[in-house]
Amino acid sequence: MAKSSLLPHRHSHILIILLSILVGIAIAAVVFRSPSAQQQIAPPATAQGLVELQDSFVEVAAKVRPAVVNISAEKPPLRGISQGIPDELRDFFDRFRRPFEQPEPERPEQRSPGDRDSDEPPKGPASLGSGWIYSEDGYIVTNTHVVKDASGIKVRLFDKDNDSREYEAKVVGSDPKTELAVVKIDVDRKLPTLQLGDSDGAKVGQWVMAVGSPFGLDQTVTVGVISAKGRYLPQSPYTGLKDIIQTDAAINRGNSGGPMVNLRGEVIGINVAIVGTAPTGGNVGVGFAISASSARFVIPELIEHKTVKRGWLGISLGRELSDNLTDYYGTDHGALITDIHEGAPAAKSELALEDIIVAVDGERVDTTSDLQDIIARKKPGTTVTLQVIRNRKEMPITVKLGEMPARFAGQEQPEPTQEEEPERTSGTLGMTVRSITAQDREKFSDEELAGVLVTNVKRGSAAEDRIKAGDVISKMNQTAVSGLDDWEQALAAAKKADKSYVVLHVSRLVAGEVMRMIVDIDVAW
């Protein structure tokens, strides 16, 4: 009796279990059929995304290539790339082998200079480069070094399949300061063009495409990303390429002057330089391009005026404001005046040494580069209002701009001077100094030169990247230095002030010119 009474209870358990299983199956079926569940478990559409990206590259290449040209220029015999480069820039050029004035490998169809059918004198080496069509009437943008000193320039077009002609081109204008040049060809049709894009809005990691003629291989397309922005490449003691875009898209000799475009086919850079491998200069994934923001100002100026006329203040600027200089001068932004050139527009104004320019005509100045760019965009003869910090107070000063001299625009390259090794004495602050001699005054072309001359800088010291042997220090903080005694007194005063840094006024010879700077050095008393 007791055994039979357990049967209904057991059956109820089985029914409950079966019902639970059925409910679970039903719920699972509903969940797996729902759109959200299907979306979660569906595999990612990687293949489709890659196909779309590939199609984008194909479309951009098809749009851009017809407006990219090959440029060949006959050149005189070349000087070595390092000849005439000051010692302070030589290390850079040893590491960054730019394609400036380097010959390209001879194309297979070219004949050697000795293989001639006439008595014409042999021509110089051919410089092969690239360019892109700026306007439909034949204005073409390229690099200055591609066409510099050329005795003849020829351009090959690729907008028509059956056009194998080489068009004679003439240089309209060039701007060594930005390495941009414009050439012109006469053609009987409207040409396809490329438009400048927004390089300021371009992002690191963004896809870009380079098109050109590396090693003479026409219409070569390479793809990569923007690796960095705002790079600086020095050219001479006075000039350098600024706001440069770095990319890992393969750029080689012959790509110079060609476009670097975004995925809309807009030119955001003009290829200009590489870090290459010796001896061929092959690409190692580090290439550089002039930003479209620089080209946007320069190209129309070259077409209209043959050259670029820039505004000029006639001042030398110090390093960017460090934490020490921010504390010392009482401002966290601006451009510090370290020298005012004799007879320059600034010398005819109320500007003074150690003024910090924080705005030009209401436009904020954060860095020395900001000031240089703003002034360079102004026309010579323009009167500007500068907001200046002096003795921790802001004041307006008006200056009528002059025209930037040729040497500051990269149009003259002063010959470097060789300096003799001076006699050394002991010193402090990680450097060794001695008294000024008559020979020093002769080198600096300054009979009134006063201060102490640096003869050695200790490796690894705080002064190593700020001071060089041969520098003359004329002031420490607020103490003028005319000799070793003043130097020791200035050190004592600085130590008493209990600051973790000192501010030095420095004069330096660079390529025969005197450059004046204000630098700060960390100290541990």
3-state SS, 68-86, equals EEEEEEECCCCCCCCCCCC
Answer whether residue 425 is part of any domain. Answer: no
Same-domain check for residues 304 and 348: no
Write b or e for each residue in 215-251: b if 16 or more Cβ atoms lie within 10 A of its Cβ, otherwise e.
Answer: bbebbbbbbbebbebebebbbbbbbebbbbbbbbbbb
- CA distance linking residue 89 with residue 237, whole number of Å: 8
- CA distance linking residue 126 with residue 110, whole number of Å: 10
Question: What is the total count of domains within the chain?
Answer: 3
Pairing between β-strand 513-522 and β-strand 393-400 as defined by DSSP bridges: unpaired
- Tell me: pLDDT of 194 over 60: yes
For residue 81, which of 278, 258, 214, 243 has the smallest C-alpha distance?
A: 278
Of the pLDDT bands very low, low, confident and very high (cuts 50, 70, 90), residue 498 is confident
Residue-wise pLDDT for 453-484, tens only, equals 999 898 888 888 899 999 999 999 989 999 88
Same-domain check for residues 320 and 289: no
- CA distance linking residue 271 with residue 255, whole number of Å: 6
How many other C-beta atoms can be found within 10 angstroms of the C-beta atom of residue 154? 17
Cα→Cα distances 251→15, 56, 229, 273, 347, Å: 75, 21, 16, 8, 45
User: For the whole model, what pTM was predicted?
Assistant: 0.66
Same-domain check for residues 84 and 194: yes
Answer whether residue 112 is part of any domain. Answer: no
pLDDT at 512: 77
Of the pLDDT bands very low, low, confident and very high (cuts 50, 70, 90), residue 284 is confident
Of the pLDDT bands very low, low, confident and very high (cuts 50, 70, 90), residue 100 is very low
What is the SS3 assignment for 357?
Answer: strand
Domain containing 322 equals: 311-409
- CA distance linking residue 164 with residue 209, whole number of Å: 25
pLDDT at 495: 87
Residue-wise pLDDT for 165-192, tens only, equals 999 999 999 999 999 999 999 999 999 9
Mean pLDDT, residues 146-152: 91
Residue-wise pLDDT for 385-439, tens only, equals 999 999 999 999 999 999 988 877 777 544 444 444 444 444 568 888 999 998 8
Residue 462, φ and ψ in degrees, nearest 5? -65, -20
Which amino acid is located at 354 in the chain? Answer: E
Chain centroid to Cα 50, Å, comes to 32
The CATH number that applies at residue 490 is 2.30.42.10
Same-domain check for residues 182 and 171: yes
User: Which residues sit opposite 480 in a β-bridge?
Assistant: 475
User: Which residues sit opposite 202 in a β-bridge?
Assistant: none
Mean pLDDT, residues 29-57: 64
Residue-wise pLDDT for 202-228, tens only, equals 999 999 999 999 988 999 999 999 999
Radius of gyration of the chain (CA): 32
pLDDT at 154: 95
Answer whether residue 373 is part of any domain. Answer: yes
| Percent of the chain with pLDDT strictly greater than 70 | 76
- CA distance linking residue 268 with residue 451, whole number of Å: 48
Same-domain check for residues 291 and 339: no
The CATH number that applies at residue 168 is 2.40.10.120
Same-domain check for residues 235 and 214: yes
Same-domain check for residues 99 and 130: yes
- Tell me: pLDDT of 373 over 50: yes
CB 322 within 8 A of CB 520: yes
Same-domain check for residues 95 and 217: yes
Q: Rounded to the nearest 5 degrees, what angle is found at the Cα of 297, between the Cα atoms of 291 and 299? A: 85
For the CA atoms of 342, 346, 351, 352, the dihedral, rounded to the nearest 10 degrees, stands at: -20
